[in-house]
Chains A and B, each alone.
Chain A
Amino acid sequence: MAKITFITSDGNSTTVEATSGSVMELGVQNKIKGIDGDCGGVCSCATCHVHVNPAQWDKVGSPLEIENDMLEFDENVSEYSRLSCQIKINEKLDGLVLTVAK
């Protein structure tokens, strides 16, 4: 079980929990504003962009090349950007805080 907090662009914070699936799926399930996952989670649309809390970056890890390529020219990219469809939920992510990109 991992509790994950999403902070959306309107400043709201929502903490939800899951044991499996991707962070994108968790966001869609809980209607987190800005997490759409239009392509169904195959790293093709970049509608699930989040910024990882820098202190927790090591928990989540770096993006793969294709994900990096999708993010690099995004206007809202940061060095802690990830596409949440590519983050698989496991116990290590318990307590993770993500800010949904604009």
Chain B
Amino acid sequence: MSIASENMVCVIIGASHAGVNCAFALRREGWKGKIILYDIDKNFPYHRPPLSKTYLTSEEGTEQRLLFPKENYKTDNITLRLGIAVNTIKRKENTISLSDGSSQTYDKLVIATGASPFIPPIQGIDMANNVFPMRTADDAVNIRNTINNSLHKRAVIIGGGYIGLETAASLKKRGAHVTVIEREERVLARVTAAEMSEFFTKLHLRNGVEIHTNKHVISIKRKGNYSVVACDDGTKLNADLIVVGVGITLNTELAQNAGLDIDNGIKVDETTRTNDANIFAIGDCTNHYNPHYKYHLRLESVQNAIEQAKTAAKTICNQKVIYDIIPWFWSDQFDIKLQIIGLSKGYNNIIIRKEGGENSFSIWYFKDDELLAVNAVNFAKAFVLGAKLIKSKQKIDQMKLTDLSIPFKPNSFLA
């Protein structure tokens, strides 16, 4: 059967950035059959990045930041089934079974199940008051309500990664007393150079956020309407709100139970296809090959979700396409915009360029003479130029890059 057949069914599991973009891309590419999207989340599909940013600092609801307006699902004839879990994938029967007891057959299946927050096994965490991760619209609403209804507004954030720091900045703006606890020796340890960690630490301290590093939370004790967070060095903090941002676990169980290949994510080829020719996987839950960096990886980003969604849609519609991106990310904290292009893994040298103001600079990550990644702080030009230089693999004169008397222009730093 061809994609022009109205009898075909494409089922997509997961209605966030990846799943929803895949549904609309399928229509754009000419899929004439049914498209059915399932998600456990009852909220109409929304943008996730603002959850830790503008949602916490405003009274906005997620309906103000929908991925696509409600009318578009009607005009594109996309069926949304929200609040329903998919229990199993029966590959031999091309069928999925659902939490409401029904089942649905498919011709093509797209798995976009993403990830769930990892809740560390801290003593007492399950009994404590007002402990939330930061992943869904409901999490953001719970966090906001807790701070609104709290007299003392003491927030403890476990984990100094992007989620933790963005949440810290937003809660601080909202008038909370915020403490971040990080077990590594610096915040953002897993993702940036020490210089960037130092910059963000200073930014938060300057804005009144407390940051504790090299500390493990060992227990959380409920005390009436607040909790006491205890660390391994004896530190004790009273918390009206605890936000956990220590990483994720992948939602790969469904795929694994169906016998799909799993290795740090659902294994997909360069077209997002799994080891079953009719099943595709996209977004945070996939492990794929990056042709530019020449290694397999998993990416937790909006760009990856959307671009893999488009690749899956095109492949399903019989177009030849290869997933080949230079990853990019961003983070907004206080008045700072951090933009990242590329993957710094394996770097052995960095160059820091400061452009005038203290809060405007960029870090360039090299492996020998190859530019791997650029982190730009309030300096989008470095992000854009970095993207060009990484993609084109043009050789860079690192001495020129360090010379601030050379104006920042596209060809200024070429060897």
Contacts and interface: CB of A to CB of B under 8 A. Distances in A.
Contacts, number: 51
B302 A73 contact: no
A39 interface: yes
A45 B332 contact: no
- Secondary structure class of chain A's binding surface, majority of residues: loop
B103 to A, nearest CB: 32
Given A29-B72, A45-B303, A45-B328, A40 B65 contact: yes
Interface in A26-58: 28-29, 31, 36, 38-40, 42-46
A45 B339 CA distance: 9
A74 interface: yes
B69 A42 contact: no
A72 B65 contact: no
A69 interface: yes
Interface residues of B, number: 26
Interface stretch (B6-14, B134-142, B201-209, B378-386): B378-386
Task: Bin chain A's interface residue count.
Answer: 10 to 19
A21 to B, nearest CB: 9
Contacts of B383: 70
Nearest to B305: A38
Query: Which secondary structure dominates where chain B touches chain A?
Result: helix
B68 A73 contact: no
Contacts of B69: 28-29
B347 interface: no
Contacts of A38: 302-303, 306
A48 B375 CA distance: 22
Interface string B13-51: 000000000000000100000000000000000010110
B337 to A, nearest CB: 7
Contacts of A40: 47, 49-50, 65, 302
B384 A39 contact: no
B394 to A, nearest CB: 13
Contacts of A46: 384
27 contacts: A29-B69, A29-B71, A29-B72, A31-B28, A31-B72, A36-B306, A38-B302, A38-B303, A39-B49, A39-B302, A40-B49, A40-B50, A40-B65, A42-B50, A43-B337, A43-B380, A45-B303, A45-B328, A45-B330, A66-B380, A69-B384, A70-B383, A70-B384, A72-B381, A72-B384, A73-B384, A73-B410
Given A44-B337, A73-B385, 18 more contacts: A28-B68, A29-B69, A29-B71, A36-B306, A38-B302, A38-B306, A40-B50, A40-B65, A40-B302, A42-B50, A42-B332, A43-B380, A66-B380, A69-B379, A72-B384, A73-B384, A73-B388, A73-B410
Interface of A: 28-29, 31, 36, 38-40, 42-46, 66, 69-70, 72-74
